[in-house]
């Protein structure tokens, strides 16, 4: 993969300066040299074709052409209860590949361990590098937006106002009457999908979400692991939004 992330502030005229991490990957891992062709993206929709000018220290690239790649999709916001053991990193990669607009990590009653907003925010520094790598692999030009970690109650406060054209769904294995196929997506401009933790949602959390305008729905078939449910829901929602 000859595709690298560059900060727009690091582009001066027709030259771009890669950061240390990208420069090391270019020279040490891919063993590219002066004169090799590369593609750059700045995370804001611009893509640049260029040639390597220098590989020592921070790599320099001569920009030959630039273009804006539109991502005219309807937003999909995945609200994911926090998972551990590397599972969140895996989800970040897959959500990026699937074109998810935003991931909102939340803390629920049945999440494992204890919630430390400072540690979770610090962890996101590394997770943003995971997102950048997934963008490079998938060809995505604008990275998935990783929202600040927060409690489930705080999230509901932020999403208390109804937005025209937005469909708000909570996927809950204990929902008995409504499945995803019962929901109409006609005229839907965006979807907010709630995915619970390994232990599932509590009845109290489901009632809280319903009071804020969320529809509780179930997926037909077997009960899925939290990470499997997230990928299944993201894929289905992107289909309903006509994004894939």
In this structure, what CATH number is given to the domain that contains residue 56? 2.40.240.20
Q: Which helix (H) or strand (E) holds 21?
A: helix 20-24
Q: Which helix (H) or strand (E) holds 13?
A: none
Write down the mean pLDDT value for the chain.
89
Q: What is the pLDDT of residue 70?
A: 65
Helical segments of 98-176, H only: 117-138, 152-158
Q: From 37, 68, 99, give the residue that closes a domain.
A: 68
Ranges of the chain with pLDDT below 70: 1, 70-72, 160-162
Q: What is the pTM of this model?
A: 0.80
Is 96 in contact with 134 (CB distance < 8 Å)? yes
Q: What is the pLDDT of residue 194?
A: 97
Cα 124 from Cα 126, distance rounded (Å): 5
Q: What is the pLDDT of residue 231?
A: 94
Look up residue 2 and give its DSSP letter: -
Q: What is the pLDDT of residue 112?
A: 82
Q: What is the pLDDT of residue 160?
A: 61
Strands (DSSP E) along the chain, which ranges?
A: 3-5, 11-12, 15-17, 37-41, 46-54, 60-68, 76-81, 102-107, 145-146, 150-151, 166-171, 190-195, 215-217
User: 125 and 62, same structural domain?
Assistant: no
Is 101 in contact with 73 (CB distance < 8 Å)? yes
Residue 80 corresponds to which tokens in the numbers above? 């994911």
User: 184 and 82, same structural domain?
Assistant: yes
User: 81 and 41, same structural domain?
Assistant: no
Q: From 68, 98, 125, give the residue that closes a domain.
A: 68
User: 152 and 44, same structural domain?
Assistant: no
Residue 93 corresponds to which tokens in the numbers above? 């990669």
Residue 243 corresponds to which tokens in the numbers above? 């994004």
User: 103 and 30, same structural domain?
Assistant: no
Q: Name the domain count of the chain.
A: 2
User: 94 and 53, same structural domain?
Assistant: no
179 by DSSP, 3-state: which? strand
Q: What is the pLDDT of residue 49?
A: 93
**Domain carrying residue 231:** 76-240
Q: What is the CATH number of the domain that holds 194?
A: 3.40.1280.10
User: 137 and 51, same structural domain?
Assistant: no
Q: What is the pLDDT of residue 162?
A: 61
208 by DSSP, 3-state: which? helix
Q: From 68, 84, 105, give the residue that closes a domain.
A: 68
């Amino acid at each position: 993969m000859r595709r690298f992330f560059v900060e727009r502030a690091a582009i001066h005229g027709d030259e771009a300066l890669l950061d240390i991490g990208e420069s090391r990957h270019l020279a040490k891992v891919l063993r590219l040299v002066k004169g090799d062709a590369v593609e750059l993206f700045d995370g804001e929709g611009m893509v640049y074709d260029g040639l390597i000018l220098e590989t020592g220290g921070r790599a320099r690239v001569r920009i030959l052409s630039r273009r804006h790649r539109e991502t005219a999709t309807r937003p999909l916001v995945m609200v994911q209860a926090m998972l551990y053991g590397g599972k969140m990193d895996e989800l970040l990669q897959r959500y990026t590949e699937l074109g998810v607009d935003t991931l909102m990590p939340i803390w629920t009653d049945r999440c494992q361990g204890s919630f430390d907003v400072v540690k979770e925010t610090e962890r996101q520094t590394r997770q943003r590098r995971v997102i950048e790598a997934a963008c490079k692999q998938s060809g995505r030009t604008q990275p998935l937006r990783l929202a600040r970690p927060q409690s489930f109650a705080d999230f509901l406060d932020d999403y208390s106002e109804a937005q025209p054209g937005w469909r708000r769904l909570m996927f809950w294995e204990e929902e008995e009457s409504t499945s995803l196929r019962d929901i109409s997506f006609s005229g839907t401009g965006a979807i907010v999908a709630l995915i619970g933790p390994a232990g599932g949602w509590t009845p109290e959390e489901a009632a809280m979400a319903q009071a804020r305008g969320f529809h509780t729905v179930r997926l037909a078939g077997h009960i899925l692991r939290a990470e499997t449910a997230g990928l299944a829901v993201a894929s289905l929602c992107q289909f309903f939004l006509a994004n894939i």
